[in-house]
Amino acid sequence: MKVEELVLRLERVTVRYPGSSHPATCDCSLEVAHGERVALLGANGSGKTSLLMAIVGLAPFAGSIRVNAIDVVKKNLSAVRDTIGFLFSTPEDQILFPKVVNDVAFGLMRKGVSAGKADEQAREMLDQLEASALAELAPHHLSHGQRLRVALAGTLICKPPLLLLDEPSTSLDTRGKKQLVRILASLPSAVLMATHDIEFAQRVCTRFVILDEGRVQMVGTSWDVIPEHFRW
């Protein structure tokens, strides 16, 4: 793909955490085009989350990562993160405000949207996720599934060019998964999603990247073409 078509490019990315004798990922290369939906698949410990963390500068890596033509280096991290929506696998890690609606609105307010307009759009996003009843609640009153919906609302509200989703369907029932599929389909954002939920990935994504022991082993456009020994 041409550089201008890409929202994300990883070239030979190796993630190694301090004190670890083995890298979490090794020489991983990957490209994601604007608007493309890509699933990162692999067993636990295969490096999926480490790659996502490296993209936003939260994991130490060697190699090259560019997001929206911006190099992921220390001096650029603020600009990089402004173009990314990141859903952590543990939503509790990203809900910071004492009231749900304020937490969801925060990303808009950081971009200069007025408090009133941000509040209105936050409530609309919660309503899309059928979570409007949570708007006035404190996060510690929420179940895990409710916290996931709130974190999703905060991730999606700014409609960033790139969404990084770490196990986004966890704790969602069938109806919740269908809603999330519809919402993701309505957004112009590219998606790079780490998941074990193959059915969900097939409904959202058009390309599948198989990670095994930290390496990209295969890339395909259909789960049906993935060899049995890479399935779990």
Domains annotated for the chain, with CATH where assigned, are 1-83+160-232 (3.40.50.300), 92-157 (no CATH)
Model confidence, pTM: 0.89
Query: How do the pLDDT tens digits run along the chain, 232 residues long?
Result: 666 689 999 999 999 999 988 999 999 999 999 999 999 998 888 999 999 999 999 999 999 999 999 999 999 999 999 999 999 888 777 888 999 999 999 999 988 999 999 999 999 999 988 899 999 999 888 988 888 889 989 998 998 999 999 998 887 888 888 888 988 888 899 999 999 888 899 999 999 999 999 999 988 887 665 666 555 5
| DSSP code of residue 19 | T
How far is residue 183's CA from residue 201's CA, in Å, rounded to a whole number?
Answer: 14
Provide, rounded to the nearest whole percent, the portion of the chain with pLDDT above 90.
63
pLDDT at 89: 82
**The tokens of 76 are what?**
């650029």
- Mean pLDDT (the chain, rounded): 90
pLDDT at 55: 98
Instruction: Compute the CA torsion angle 95, 96, 98, 101 (nearest 10 deg).
Output: -50
Return the ∠ at Cα 4 (arms to 39 and 12), rounded to 5°: 55
Question: How do residues 67-123 score in pLDDT, each as one tens digit?
Answer: 999 999 999 999 999 999 999 888 777 888 999 999 999 999 988 999 999 999 999
In sequence order, which residues have a C-beta less than 8 Å from that of residue 122 and are 6 or more positions away? 101, 102, 104, 105, 108, 135, 153, 157
pLDDT at 47: 94
Q: Strands (DSSP E) along the chain, which ranges?
A: 6-15, 25-33, 37-41, 61-67, 70-71, 84-87, 162-166, 190-194, 207-212, 215-220
pLDDT at 127: 92
Provide, rounded to the nearest whole percent, the portion of the chain with pLDDT above 70.
94
Q: Which amino acid is at 15?
A: V
| DSSP code of residue 56 | T
- Strand ordering across the sheet containing 207-212: 84-87, 162-166, 190-194, 37-41, 207-212, 215-220
- Residue that the structure tokens 């919402």 belong to: 183
Query: By the 8 A CB rule, do 63 and 54 touch?
Result: no
pLDDT at 25: 97
